[in-house]
Amino acid sequence: MMTAQEYIESLRNLRPRKIYLLGEKVENPVDHPMIRPSINCCAMTYKLAELPEYQDIMTAKSALTGNTINRFVHLHQSTEDLIKKVKMLRLVGQMTGACFQRCVGMDALNAVWSTTYEIDQKYGTNYHERFKQYLIEWEEKDWTVDGCMTDPKGNRSLPPSKQADPDLYVHIVEKRSDGIVVRGAKMHQTGIINSHEILVMPTMSLSLEEADYAVCFAVPSDDPSLIYIYGRQSCDTRKLEKTTVDVGNIKYGGQEAIVIFNDTFVPWERVFMCGETDFAGMLVERFAGYHRQSYGGCKVGNGDVLIGAAAAIAEYNGVAKASHIKDKIIEMVHLNETLYSCGIACSAEGRKTPAGNYLIDIMLANVCKQNVTRYPYEIARLAQDIAGGIVATMPSDADFKSPEIGHWCNKFMIGDAKYSAEERQRMLRLIETMTMGAIAVGYLTESMHGAGSPQAQRILIQRYANLEAKKALARRICGIDEDNLL
C-alpha cells in the first residue's frame, strides 16, 4: 500500500496534463493552492490506512491475491465488508470535513466486476478476465481511480442517439484491431485531477441503436489526449489569499472537473464493455446503488464535523445552555444518525452477486440517498441558525490583522470572554464554508445531485416497492382475499 506522502509524490510523477483553472493552464497541480486541499483530502485515505488503530476498518484482505490492501480498492466479500465500508467513509469524513473523492472508484470497481461477469456469461466475451487483471494492478499499485459516469447530456428530453451533437455522450468513434477510439466528455468528476486512472461507464440505460454509447473502459489520467477543466466553487479564490482563516477548513477540500476525451485511444485489454446495450442499465444501477450507500457514511462524517462546529459556536456565543439551542443540536444529531442507519441497513441487507462480490440492498440504498438529499440541508440550516447572522457578514481576516482597525474587530467579535475572538472567527468560517462556501459543494450540492438527483432515487424506489405484494397483504387482512394462515 502507498503511504500518504507516496501518494502525493506519485501525482508529481504523472506526465504533464492539460489542466485549466480560471482560464489558465495549470503547470503544477500538486502545489496549486486551489487544488492542494483536495489532494490533502484524498491523501487522508492513505494516511489512515498507515495507522495501527485503523487497520481493521481501513484495510482488507484481497480476494484476488490474498495481500493486505487499502479498503478503497477492495471487492466487497461479505455484508461485514459493506458495513465496514460505511464506517470507513464516516471516519474519513470526520477527519477531513470535506469530500475525500476516492469512493467513486471503489463503487465503480465493484459494479464493473459483477456486470462484466454477467456480460461474459451471456455473450461469451472476456471482459471479466480483462477487468480482473486490471484490478490486480489497481490493488498492487494502490491507485486512486476516478469513476466517470455523468455525461453532459445536452437536451435531457432526447436520448444519446438523438442529440444534435453526438459528443454530448461519450461514444466510440472508431474500432481498430488494437483497440477503440472514444470521444465526448464527463462532467462533475470528483477528484479526477488527483487520480492515477479513469474508469469510464455509461450514464444511463441504452437502446439497441445506441451501441456506440454502451462503452466501459479505463485510461491513465495522464493520457495526452485528455483535457481537464477545473470547476468553480463558492469562495474558492480565498485559497489564493495569504491567510487560511477565511477559508474555514484550512487544509482539506473537494474537487470537481470536466474531462474531455478528445479522440482518446483505448487498447482492447482496457475495454470492459463495447456495445452490450442490454447491460448498460445494470452497470448504472449497481454503481448508483453502491454510491448511494456511500453517502450514508461520508456525508455523516461531514455532518459530525458541522454538528461539532455548531455546538462549539453555541459555547462561543454564550448560548449553549439555552433549551432551544440544545433542541436544535439534538435534531441535527438525530438527522445525521438516521442517515448513518440507512447506510448500515442497506449494507447489512446486501447479497452475493454471481461474480462473488457483495451488492447492497438496492431499495434501501436509494432510501438512504433520498434522505441524504434532504437532511444535510436541514442540518446546515440549523447550524446557520445557531451561529447567527455574523456567519455571513463577518469582516475578513485582513481586517482583523489590520493595524488601523484590527483592534475594533477583535473588540466587537468577542462572544463569551472565555474564548478569543480568533477562535470564534475560525469556527464561524468553518460553518460558513460547510454551508455556503467551497466545502458546501461536497456536503450540500453533492448530497442533492451526487449519485443521481432525487428523482433518480424515486424511480428506483418505485421499481423496487413491490406494490402488488403489498396490495395482496391488504386484501387478505380486510377479507377481500381468503386468509388460509389461521
pLDDT in tens, 84-138: 999 999 999 999 999 999 999 999 999 999 999 999 999 999 999 999 999 999 9
Bridge partners, 215 (sequence order): 274
Bridge partners, 147 (sequence order): 199
Annotated binding-site residues read 190
Look at residue 113 in the predicted model and tell me its pLDDT.
Answer: 98
Among candidate residues 41, 42, 99, 368, the one labeled active-site is: 99
pLDDT tier, 354 (very low <50, low <70, confident <90, very high otherwise)? very high
Is 99 in the active site? Answer: yes
Annotated binding-site residues for FAD read 190
Among candidate residues 42, 274, 298, 342, the one labeled active-site is: 298
Are 190 and 231 within 8 A, CB to CB?
Answer: no
Is 291 in the active site? Answer: yes
Give the rounded percent of residues in the chain with a pLDDT score beyond 90.
99
Residues of the chain within CATH 2.40.110.10 domain(s) are 4-277
Is 478 in the active site? Answer: no
Residues 216-223, mean pLDDT to the nearest whole number: 98
Among candidate residues 256, 285, 315, 432, the one labeled active-site is: 256
Residues 216-244, mean pLDDT to the nearest whole number: 96
Is 127 in the active site? Answer: no
Task: Report the alpha-carbon angle 193-67-348, nearest 5.
Answer: 80
Among candidate residues 96, 190, 203, 435, the one labeled active-site is: 190
Number of C-alpha atoms within 13 angstroms, CB side, residue 257? 28
User: Is 122 strand, coil or helix?
Assistant: helix
Look at residue 371 in the predicted model and tell me its pLDDT.
Answer: 98
pLDDT tier, 250 (very low <50, low <70, confident <90, very high otherwise)? very high
DSSP state of 74: P
Q: pLDDT tens, 398-446? A: 999 999 999 999 999 999 999 999 999 999 999 999 999 999 999 999 9
For the four alpha carbons of 376, 377, 379 and 384, in that order, the dihedral sign comes to positive
In this structure, the number of other CB atoms found within 10 A of the CB of residue 32 comes to 18
Among candidate residues 42, 103, 216, 346, the one labeled active-site is: 103
Burial of residue 300, with CB atoms counted within 10 A of its CB: 0-12 exposed, 13-18 middle, 19 or more buried: buried
**Superfamily name with CATH number, domain 283-470:** Butyryl-CoA Dehydrogenase, subunit A, domain 3 (1.20.140.10)
Cα separation of 443 and 302, whole Å? 7
Is 295 in the active site? Answer: yes
pTM over 0.85: yes
Q: pLDDT tens, 320-349? A: 999 999 999 999 999 999 999 999 999 999
Identify the architecture of domain 4-277 in CATH. Beta Barrel (2.40)
Q: pLDDT tens, 186-208? A: 999 999 999 999 999 999 999 99
For the four alpha carbons of 264, 163, 148 and 175, in that order, the dihedral sign comes to negative
Look at residue 119 in the predicted model and tell me its pLDDT.
Answer: 98
Residues of the chain within CATH 1.20.140.10 domain(s) are 283-470
Among candidate residues 134, 295, 340, 375, the one labeled active-site is: 295
pLDDT tier, 64 (very low <50, low <70, confident <90, very high otherwise)? very high
Is 103 in the active site? Answer: yes
Is 32 in the active site? Answer: no
Are 262 and 75 within 8 A, CB to CB?
Answer: no
Cα separation of 209 and 213, whole Å? 9
Cα separation of 394 and 430, whole Å? 12
For the four alpha carbons of 161, 164, 167 and 173, in that order, the dihedral sign comes to positive
Look at residue 383 in the predicted model and tell me its pLDDT.
Answer: 98
> E strands of 355-473, at which residues?
358-359
> How far is C-alpha 83 from the geometric centre of its chain's CA atoms?
17
